[in-house]
Chain A
Amino acid sequence: MAGNKGRGRAAYTFNIEAVGFSRGEKLPDVVLKPPPLFPDTDYKPVPLKTGEGEDYMLALKQELRETMKRMPYFIETPEEKQADPKSKKAKDTDKGTSLANTADVLKKIEELEKRGDGEKSDEENEEKEGSKEKSKEGDDDDEDDAAEQEEYDEEEQEEENDYINSYFEDGDDFGAESDDNMDEATY
């Protein structure tokens, strides 16, 4: 074609100077992929403001977040509800009767104990896996973890039932006796 004068020779079809590049200058690289998701910034961001007001608002924000989750306006999906049997439905006419805004420790413990029921089986499974892996890897951390969980589990088990310790039939000396002193026989 008539216009094909530059066969194979590189030539621009417009005045390159108008765009800002002087003749013969190295053009920027061709872009082959999208820019990185987290591009490097040349300058570090300015540190956050600190002060009494900022601290107070931060605490408020976190508190509000927790409080809102306990209010009757927080509607959980049926799957979530199954996991937590103690959730309240939003049927109160007096919308103010939500769970404690201030922490009521005893109530919370009850809640946690109940939840501990469901999670106990998870921990036991984890323990079993932990002890199996122990022999293979001989990993100290795993061992400690499993032992810790076992010990913790017992503790939790002790807490969650309603029996007073003195109801045990093991006798009043249970636990009080020193294990090291094996001189005397026990009947």
Chain B
Amino acid sequence: MTQAEIKLCSLLLQEHFGEIVEKIGVHLIRTGSQPLRVIAHDTGTSLDQVKKALCVLIQHNLVIYQVHKRGVVEYEAQCSRVLRMLRYPRYIYTTKTLYSDTGELIVEELLLNGKMTMSAVVKKVADRLTETMEDGKTMDYAEVSNTFVRLADTHFVQRCPLVPATENSDPGPPPPAPTLVINEKDMYLVPKLSLIGKGKRRRSSDEDAAGEPKAKRPKHTTDNKEPIPDDGIYWQVNLDRFHQHFRDQAIVSAVANRMDQTSSEIVRTMLRMSEITTPSSAPFTQPLSSNEIFRSLPVGYNISKQVLDQYLTLLADDPLEFVGKSGDSGGGMYVINLHKALTSLATATLESVVQERFGSRCARIFRLVLQKKHLEQKQEIPKTPDHAPSRTFYLYTVNVLSAARMLLHRCYKSIANLIERRQFETKENKRLLEKSQRVEAIIASMQATGAEEAQLQEIEEMITAPERQQLETLKRNVNKLDASEIQVDETIFLLESYIESTMKKQ
């Protein structure tokens, strides 16, 4: 792990889980896998706190454990998984576009909690949705369940590995830590639950109705007594599936930009057909016949078979080579060259960076060298075969993989800088922020108890105009920094996908 990655992980862990979890997490990332006592000793933290931190990390799929020989349990951190925390908003927003608010909240709850049972998710999401609905309306558990099942069917959520059912004939003491397993075919199997109920609104006026003070209001009385029907079956978000979706999105939009809407729709159809059949790390999809594609086009897309064939030929002939022709049966067999597509996307990113950083001329040279593979500075022919410095000529080339790695490293550094700057800005204005929060709270409470306009005005004026200006500037800056983080993460995704695809190919 590079220093930049470790630094970024440290910032992310600290922001989301606090300093103790950060200390343990970063230590594990740096040192590799270690047993519990060694972690406690090396970090100088109490055993109790290390256990708590590990619990949080394991719950969120950031640390895994393994039983080694002699019964020692070792914990290992997954640095790349920690970096995925940057992408949480994208995962949640994508689900919103595909499965609307219900789906969005399901994924959000799963990401916030790491692992959850289906019943817990359904209940929580139903409650949250009910809060946003008009008075008197509630969200039914069945509707949330349906969306959950759809997410599982399309593999966006998956089951967590479980403790295997042991036969009792196993002699000897149980192992110090269970080895969790999951069957491929069970991963998306939804348990048969009959979740009946509706979301509950959290009533702030409950105390008045019941005549009891808030502190004494019993918390979740009925829930604790009911047995959880799907206890032990935990679900998590399947990040790889989302990555596959992002990759498909990127390819489709690239085709749309380069050619036209219809071509991109054809490519989208082909990708959709390959979703379940092709593993996400394959260099190209399974071959699809033109007939099949024609049948699978979205309903209402009225292009004739000949037009489709023409488009497919055009796509296959395009120098970008996103689509390739692999045979002639069935009207023509076509594949999507996933690896080539990712390479093109990564290369385009590099070109764009060169252009924006060094100008159009440099960009032109860069593109030229990329195209010709090897170029010489001045077009001279060598005269002698020996390697004398004055007569050897040097060729320029672009090593795309190397450049992509370097740019990726820079991206990690950039995000770390963005986060640090954002934290600095917030800290600088901490007093002002707290003051403004207090004032807002006071205004809200006064409005709730029915205060006059004049009094509200008076409270609002406690924040002076220059202070308001300062707050505005702060908000604008923080928004910009946050938005930048999100967009740099998009570049990280493209580059990482390309690098991964290239490494798998070799």
Binding site for B on A (CB under 8 A): 14-15, 17-18, 41-43, 45-46, 48-49, 53-54, 56-58, 60-62, 64-65, 67-68, 71, 73-77, 80, 90, 94-97, 100-102, 104-106, 108-109, 112, 116, 119, 144, 148, 151-152, 155-156, 159
- A49–B489 Cα distance when bound, in Å, is 13
Binds A, one of B15-23, B146-154, B399-407: B15-23
State whether the Cβ of B381 lies closer than 8 Å to any Cβ in chain A.
no
Question: Interface majority SS on A: helix, strand, loop or mixed?
Answer: helix
Indicate which residue in B56, B223, B444 contacts A105 across the interface (CB closer than 8 Å).
B444
Say how far A151's CB is from chain B's closest CB, in angstroms: 8
Q: Which residues in B have their C-beta under 8 angstroms from that of A17?
A: 390
When chains A and B are docked, how far (Å) is the Cα of A13 from the Cα of B93? 63
Which one of B113, B202, B442 lies within 8 Å of A155 (CB-CB)? B442
Provide a sorted-by-A list of 25 A–B residue pairs whose CB atoms are within 8 angstroms.
A42-B358, A43-B357, A43-B359, A48-B483, A56-B93, A56-B96, A57-B89, A58-B483, A58-B486, A61-B482, A61-B485, A61-B486, A67-B112, A73-B56, A77-B20, A80-B19, A94-B120, A95-B59, A102-B131, A106-B204, A112-B438, A148-B464, A152-B462, A155-B442, A155-B462
Q: Number of B residues whose C-beta is below 8 Å from A? A: 64
Note all chain A residues with C-beta closer than 8 A to B162. none
Which residue of B19, B60, B93, B220 contacts A77 across the interface (Cβ within 8 Å)?
A: B19
Specify which chain B residues have a CB less than 8 angstroms from the CB of A109 in the assembled complex. 441-442, 444-445
> What residues of A have a CB within 8 angstroms of the CB of B444 in the complex?
105, 109
- Is B89 a contact of A60 with CB atoms below 8 Å? yes
Contact B18 A75 (CB under 8 A): yes
Q: Is the CB of A75 within 8 A of B20?
A: yes
- Tell me the minimal C-beta distance from A118 to chain B in angstroms: 12
* A110-B389 Cα distance, complex, nearest whole Å: 78
- Contact of A155 with B52 in the complex, beta carbons under 8 Å: no
Alpha-carbon gap, A106 to B152, bound state (A):
38
For the complex formed, measure the closest distance between the CB of B40 and the CB atoms of chain A, giving whole angstroms.
15
* Distance in Å: Cβ of A154 to nearest Cβ of chain B: 11
Selected from A74, A94, A95, the residue in CB contact (under 8 A) with B18 is A74
A53–B441 contact, CB under 8 A? no
Q: Which of A18, A62, A151 contacts B389 (CB 8 A)?
A: A18
**A97 lies within 8 A of B59 (CB):** no
Given contacts A43-B357, A105-B448, contact A58 B482 (CB under 8 A): yes
CB distance from B253 to the nearest CB of A (A): 12
Cβ distance B200 to chain A, nearest Cβ, rounded Å: 13
Among B53, B55, B113, residue most surrounded by chain A Cβ atoms (within 10 Å): B113
Interface flags, B289-323, vs A, CB<8A=1, else 0 = 00000000000000000000000000000000000
In-complex Cβ contact of B390 among A18, A58, A101 (8 A):
A18
Beta-carbon contact of B202 and A60 below 8 Å: no
Top 4 nearest A-B pairs (CB, nearest first) are A57-B89, A60-B89, A18-B389, A61-B89
Residue of B nearest to A110 (CB): B214
How far does the Cβ of A29 sit from chain B's closest Cβ, in whole Å? 21
Determine the chain B residues whose CB is within 8 A of the CB of A156 once the complex forms. 438, 442
